[in-house]
């Protein structure tokens, strides 16, 4: 007789009644919705001086099932500014009995170099017990010394959905006269502060926190989870001193790292004037020099010591024709300066799925650098690590977020471009025929602009022909289909870049033929992905991060001898989430479907979830509706 996991956990026979980490000791409330339970997660940070700090972390995780396996893997990195001083670990079975201790020879030491990295001084300590008998428990302890205090670890006890916490705490010890800068989110109350003879200790603690389910279109996890950020005021790293009390002070420190590194070789200066002196507008000059950058440099990451934040000088980039984001952006600023155009390096948190910065907590929150060129009427943004992206376009990688524009003593938080609904379009036209066996032959023409072309841009510029075809063969929910021909074309000259895709699709058994009836879904490609449960309760706001318009026109020719027997009704919906319209016309053996879906961006309260589900499921139903044709007698 099989027992449930909960039954197993609570009725397991524990060989050692004092086993501290027996899975059966976990409170039942923490098992609900959980894949993993943090039995203990302790982070202790000690700030010794503006240039010296250390932290100690001790954590014990019970993995309840295979879905938690990603947390079984220990890793931490070290470099010139981080020294891993000790690592220990223990594996326990379900009953809490010790199975194995980590030995020094079991810990691998790997380089951080990969792919586009030319030089990278990060190295990683890694370990995994590779144990698969669930539930089981892992325990690790690590001590790290920080030689330079440019950033400090953050505390986030519940770091993902389906994670429960039995006990987690953060303590920060500072000199008695040191004012710790911190910002807390979704934490009830204030830290406990204890004063000792020469120090102060700040403590935050969270106990018995149940796991949360993953909610579709929820805010970023960092917005809805308890967390505490800590950062220094005065700091020192690699001999450079700075202060983080304001973005102006932080920007001043960063500007000092860039100081004197924008000097171009004489031959490059001459090239700049050759390319731009005859041009009439700054926009023309910017586009020309950006094209020069793309044609004559390529991205390679170089992260050595302070070089993780300080760029290679412009002369080095000009001679070697490569650099990382800092170096290439700094080089672009130098090119524009030679052409008489003022530009700025901008620190940003890049990545389509990355969290935005906390704008009211000055600290090192950045992983990328871009260029901003302010203008009288508009501002031009440049992504200098790409050899293919259109001039002035940020896309989902760096668009719609706050960033720090570096300007000596006047650094300031700025907003990168937000792309509107009308700029993020997908227009698709399908001309199709269906034969008497239900086989579909279709020619599909799609034009995508703005954020809707980001994915296709990557496919065109970073995939082989074979990889592109493989993608298309797995992209659509069509029965037994192939894509025998396809082409792409890019328009980077437009204000908002566009990609057109033309392809042929052959799908056997697309239409179901049963006796004298043929069943057809006229909406061939533009189907809403999933249906939502109407019974789910909503805890968090609903977030549409960007707006778009999808417009589809489908024309289908049927074989002779069929007439319509049943067809879906047209549907028109308009509410705060967007608009949806779908309609059909039948002209003999010809079907025409017109579909327009406009999604609004925004943040909507959880109390609107039922309306959101109704809107989503109505679209899902309409997208998957079928027509029935019957053969004439």
State the pLDDT at residue 9: 43
Residue range 204-228: mean pLDDT, rounded: 95
pLDDT of 416 higher than 80: yes
Q: Mapping DSSP to helix (H, G, I), strand (E, B) and coil, where does residue 332 land?
A: helix
- The mean-pLDDT minimum among 74-78, 203-207, 284-288, 354-358 falls in 354-358
Q: Please, is 361 exposed, middle or buried when counting C-beta atoms within 10 Å of its C-beta (0-12, 13-18, 19+)?
A: middle
Residue tagged 């050692």 (tokens): 16
**pLDDT tens digits for 545-568?**
999 999 999 999 999 999 999 999
Cα–Cα distance measured from residue 427 to residue 479, given in angstroms and rounded to the nearest whole number: 24
Q: How far apart are CA 420 and CA 495, in angstroms?
A: 13
pLDDT score of 121: 64
Residue 434 pLDDT more than 70? yes
Percent of the chain clearing pLDDT 90 (strictly above): 85
Q: How far is CA 450 from CA 270, 401, 445, 494, 550, in A?
A: 35, 16, 17, 10, 12
What's the mean pLDDT in 53-74? 96
Residue whose C-alpha is closest to residue 181's, from 250, 239, 237, 240: 250
Give the DSSP letter of residue 155.
B
Over residues 80-91, the pLDDT tens digits come to 889 999 999 999
Distance CA 49, CA 51 (A): 5
With tokens 């793309």, the residue in question is 294
pLDDT category at 112 given cuts 50, 70, 90 is low
Cβ neighbours, 10 Å, residue 621: 13
For residue 217, pLDDT beyond 60: yes
CA 500 to chain centre: 25
Taking alpha carbons only, the member of 367, 346, 363 closest to residue 355 is 367
Q: Which residue has the higher pLDDT, 245 or 495?
A: 245
Q: Are 396 and 409 in contact (CB under 8 A)?
A: no
Backbone φ and ψ of 446, nearest 5°:
-130, 135
- Band of the pLDDT at 15, cuts 50, 70, 90? very low
Q: Which residues contact 585 (CB under 8 A, 6 or more apart)?
A: 591, 592
DSSP string of 570-582? Answer: PEEEEETTEEEEE
Of 237 and 307, the one with more pLDDT? 237
148: left (phi over 0), alpha (psi -120 to 50) or beta: left
Residue 1 has pLDDT above 50, yes or no: no
Question: In 3D, which of 629, 633, 51, 590 has the Cα closest to residue 306?
Answer: 51
User: How far, in Å, CA of 604 to CA of 539, rounded?
Assistant: 12
- How confident is residue 4, by pLDDT bands cut at 50, 70 and 90? very low
Q: In this model, does residue 14 exceed pLDDT 60?
A: no
Q: Which domains does the chain have, with CATH numbers?
A: 5-232 (2.60.40.3140), 246-415 (3.10.620.30), 425-631 (2.60.120.1130)
Three-state secondary-structure class, residue 474: coil
Q: Is the pLDDT of residue 512 over 90?
A: yes
Give the integer Cα–Cα distance in Å for 517 and 486: 33
Angle at 622 between CA 619 and CA 624, to 5 degrees: 110
The model's pTM:
0.90
Q: Is the pLDDT assigned to residue 3 strictly greater than 80?
A: no
């Amino acid at each position: 007789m099989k027992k449930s996991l909960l039954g197993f956990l609570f009725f397991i026979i524990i060989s050692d009644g004092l086993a501290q980490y027996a899975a059966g000791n976990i409170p039942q409330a923490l098992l609900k919705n959980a894949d993993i339970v943090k039995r203990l997660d302790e982070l202790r940070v000690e700030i010794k001086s503006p240039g010296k700090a250390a932290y100690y972390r001790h954590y014990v995780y019970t993995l309840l099932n295979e879905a938690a396996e990603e947390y079984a893997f220990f890793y931490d990195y070290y470099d010139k500014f981080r020294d891993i001083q000790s690592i220990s670990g223990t594996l326990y079975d379900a009953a809490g009995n010790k199975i194995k201790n980590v030995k020094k020879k079991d810990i691998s030491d790997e380089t951080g170099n990969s792919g586009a990295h030319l030089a990278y001084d990060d190295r990683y300590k890694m370990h995994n017990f590779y144990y698969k008998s669930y539930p089981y428990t892992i325990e690790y302890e690590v001590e790290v010394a920080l030689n330079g205090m440019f950033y400090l670890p953050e505390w986030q006890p519940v770091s993902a959905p389906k994670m429960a916490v039995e006990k987690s705490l953060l303590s920060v010890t500072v000199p008695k006269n040191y004012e710790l800068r911190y910002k807390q989110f979704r934490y009830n109350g204030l830290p406990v502060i204890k004063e000792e003879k020469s120090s102060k200790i700040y403590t935050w603690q969270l106990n018995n926190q149940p796991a949360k389910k993953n909610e579709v279109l929820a805010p970023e996890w960092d917005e809805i989870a308890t967390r505490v950020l800590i950062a220094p005021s005065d700091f020192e790293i690699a001999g450079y001193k700075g202060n983080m009390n304001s973005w102006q002070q932080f920007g001043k420190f960063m500007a000092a790292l860039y100081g004197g590194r924008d000097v171009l070789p004489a031959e490059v200066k001459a090239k700049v004037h050759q390319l731009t002196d005859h041009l009439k507008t700054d926009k023309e000059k910017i586009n020309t020099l950006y094209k020069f950058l793309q044609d004559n440099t390529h991205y390679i990451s170089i992260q050595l010591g302070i070089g993780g934040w300080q760029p290679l000088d412009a002369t080095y980039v000009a001679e070697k024709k490569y650099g990382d984001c800092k170096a290439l952006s700094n080089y672009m600023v130098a090119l524009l300066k030679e052409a008489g155009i003022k530009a700025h390096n901008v620190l940003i948190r890049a990545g389509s799925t990355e969290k935005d910065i906390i704008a009211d907590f000055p600290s090192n929150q950045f992983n990328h650098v871009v260029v901003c060129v302010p203008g009288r009427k508009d501002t031009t943004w440049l992504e200098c690590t790409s050899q293919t992206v259109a001039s002035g376009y940020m896309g989902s990688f760096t668009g719609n977020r706050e960033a720090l524009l570096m300007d000596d003593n006047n650094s300031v938080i700025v907003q990168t471009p937000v792309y509107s609904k009308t700029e993020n379009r997908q227009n698709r036209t399908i001309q199709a025929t269906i034969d008497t066996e239900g086989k579909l032959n279709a020619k599909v023409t799609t034009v995508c602009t703005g954020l809707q072309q980001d994915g296709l841009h990557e496919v065109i510029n970073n995939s082989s022909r074979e990889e592109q075809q493989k993608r298309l063969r797995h992209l659509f929910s069509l029965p037994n289909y192939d894509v025998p021909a396809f082409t792409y074309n890019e328009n980077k000259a437009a204000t908002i870049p566009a990609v057109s895709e033309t392809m042929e699709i052959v799908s056997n058994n697309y239409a179901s033929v049963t006796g004298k009836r043929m069943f057809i879904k006229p909406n061939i490609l533009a189907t809403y992905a999933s249906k939502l449960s109407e019974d789910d309760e909503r805890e968090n706001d609903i977030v549409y991060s960007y707006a778009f318009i999808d417009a589809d026109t489908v024309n289908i020719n049927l074989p002779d001898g069929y007439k319509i027997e049943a067809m879906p009704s047209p549907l028109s919906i308009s509410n705060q989430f967007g608009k949806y319209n779908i309609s059909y016309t039948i002209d003999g053996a010809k079907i025409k479907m017109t579909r327009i879906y406009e999604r609004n961006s925004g943040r909507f309260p959880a109390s609107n979830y039922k309306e959101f589900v109704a809107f989503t499921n109505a679209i899902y139903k309409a997208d998957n509706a079928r027509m029935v044709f019957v053969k004439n007698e």
